[in-house]
């Protein structure tokens, strides 16, 4: 090898970029005055694209591989430079290496709550957060629309702008999905896929692809969450047992009432009555059985079926039979005015309904009416 060939070999450039960072999206290959020698070697590694720019105009784009730069593999640049028979050495051009790998674990979240109009709960506010992943799909468009002349462009420089797009389009997707607010937790995957589909066209305008969009959580006001939980439990629990539990709580509250024993007795009586009525309302079968056990008020008729145990009475209220009530409850109802002298009652052994004042077991609880004052 003579001295000329040796010097010629030293003039040949090697253009490459070894990325030792994890967040660089675009890197501009720096050369003195951007001069590139004829026959320079270009190395483009996997997950990279090399873009040649001439005086601010996108020229040739190279995918992964090794290239010797000449007129044949720089057709666009040759046209821009006006090279008809080959180009001069050295020539000027900017070379940008674009990282085409997936940039993952990018965070997004709603700084302000999203106002949602739900069919069941009306207007309410929700918040949400999650992660997403992007990759550069069109290197030339990404440089033109986002990077510009930035010599080293990182993902942090674009995520703030992308986060605004994500939140805006997510808000639209939530409204268009028509998923009930209580259904968000069970439909996060479906809502994530739907949101990604809605956002990808806008990402494409910047030369990007949204490869993954995940919703990790959708939160709502505590009062709405509590109401949803209550409704969910009502669908699962035994409503008759719930009525009994409510009655027990009412009895406990009445027992702690400072009005004394009479108030406690009345509270217990009303608690028993409420438990019975709620149980019949929530349990149609029990209500039907109750109607079969005691007849409606009538002048006469067949004897009702016997009721085992202590003496208890049925009471006619608002044209409907209620009960049976034990004597402690009847006493409390008389004290509270729920049963008057004329209230119709019935017990085992009676042929028909009768006024409460005519039933031996309870008529003494109404007291006697004093005679009129003489001369009045």
What is the chain's pLDDT, residue by residue, as a tens digit (376 residues)?
454 444 444 455 889 998 878 889 999 888 777 678 878 899 999 999 999 988 778 888 999 999 988 877 787 787 777 666 566 667 778 899 999 999 988 998 888 888 877 777 777 788 889 999 999 999 989 988 888 777 788 888 888 778 888 888 888 888 777 777 767 777 888 888 988 998 899 999 999 999 999 998 888 777 777 776 676 666 656 656 666 777 777 777 777 765 544 444 455 555 555 555 555 554 545 444 444 444 555 544 454 554 455 678 888 888 888 888 888 888 888 888 888 888 888 888 788 888 888 887 777 777 655 556 666 5
**What is the phi/psi pair of residue 346, to 5°?**
-150, 145
Q: Omega of the bond prior to 319 within 30 degrees of 0, cis?
A: no
pTM strictly above 0.75: no
The residues spanned by each domain of the chain are 3-99, 103-226, 237-366
Q: Among candidates 69, 37, 42, 30, which has minimal Cα distance to 149?
A: 30
Q: Is residue 127 within 8 Å of residue 113, measured between CB atoms? A: yes
Q: How many CB atoms lie within 10 A of CB 103?
A: 21
d(CA 361, CA 336): 18
d(CA 344, CA 333): 13
Q: Is residue 48 within 8 Å of residue 61, measured between CB atoms? A: no
Burial class (CB in 10 A: 0-12, 13-18, 19+), 287: middle
Q: Is residue 98 within 8 Å of residue 26, measured between CB atoms? A: yes
Q: Is residue 185 within 8 Å of residue 219, measured between CB atoms? A: no
d(CA 212, CA 165): 15
d(CA 203, CA 99): 17
Residues making up the chain, counted from first to last: 376
d(CA 36, CA 305): 110
Tell me how many helices (H) and strands (E) the chain has.
Answer: 11, 18
Looking at domain 103-226, which CATH architecture does it have?
2-Layer Sandwich (3.30)
């Amino acid at each position: 090898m003579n001295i000329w060939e040796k010097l010629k070999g030293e003039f040949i450039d090697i253009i490459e970029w070894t990325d030792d960072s994890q967040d660089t999206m675009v890197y501009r290959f720096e050369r003195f005055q951007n001069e590139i020698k004829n026959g320079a070697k270009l190395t483009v590694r996997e997950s990279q694209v090399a873009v040649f720019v001439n005086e601010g105009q996108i020229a040739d784009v190279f995918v992964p591989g090794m290239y010797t730069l000449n007129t044949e593999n720089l057709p666009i640049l040759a046209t821009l430079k006006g090279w008809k028979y080959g180009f001069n050495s050295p020539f000027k051009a900017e070379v940008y290496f674009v990282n085409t790998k997936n940039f993952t674990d990018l965070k997004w979240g709603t700084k302000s709550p999203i106002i949602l109009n739900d069919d069941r709960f009306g207007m309410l506010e929700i918040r949400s957060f999650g992660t997403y992943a992007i990759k550069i799909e069109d290197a030339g468009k990404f440089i033109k629309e986002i990077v510009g002349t930035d010599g080293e462009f990182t993902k942090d420089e674009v995520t703030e702008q992308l986060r605004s797009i994500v939140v805006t389009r997510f808000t639209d997707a939530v409204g268009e999905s028509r998923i009930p607010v209580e259904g968000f937790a069970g439909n996060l995957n479906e809502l994530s896929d739907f949101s990604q589909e809605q956002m990808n066209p806008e990402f494409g305008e910047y030369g990007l692809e949204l490869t993954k969009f995940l919703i990790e959580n959708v939160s709502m006001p505590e009062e709405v969450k509590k109401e949803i939980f209550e409704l969910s439990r009502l669908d699962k629990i035994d409503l008759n047992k719930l009525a009994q539990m409510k009655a027990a709580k009412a009895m406990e509250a009445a027992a702690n009432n400072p009005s004394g024993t009479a108030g406690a007795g009345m509270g217990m009586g009303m608690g028993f009555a409420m438990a019975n009525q709620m149980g019949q309302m929530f349990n149609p079968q029990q209500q039907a059985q109750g109607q079969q056990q005691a007849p409606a008020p009538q002048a006469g008729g067949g004897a009702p079926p016997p009721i085992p145990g202590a003496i208890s009475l049925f009471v006619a209220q608002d044209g409907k039979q209620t009960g049976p009530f034990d004597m402690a409850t009847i006493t409390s109802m008389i004290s509270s005015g729920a049963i008057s002298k004329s209230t119709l009652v019935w017990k085992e052994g009676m042929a028909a309904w009768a006024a409460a004042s005519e039933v031996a077991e309870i008529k003494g609880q109404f007291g006697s009416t004093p005679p009129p004052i003489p001369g009045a």
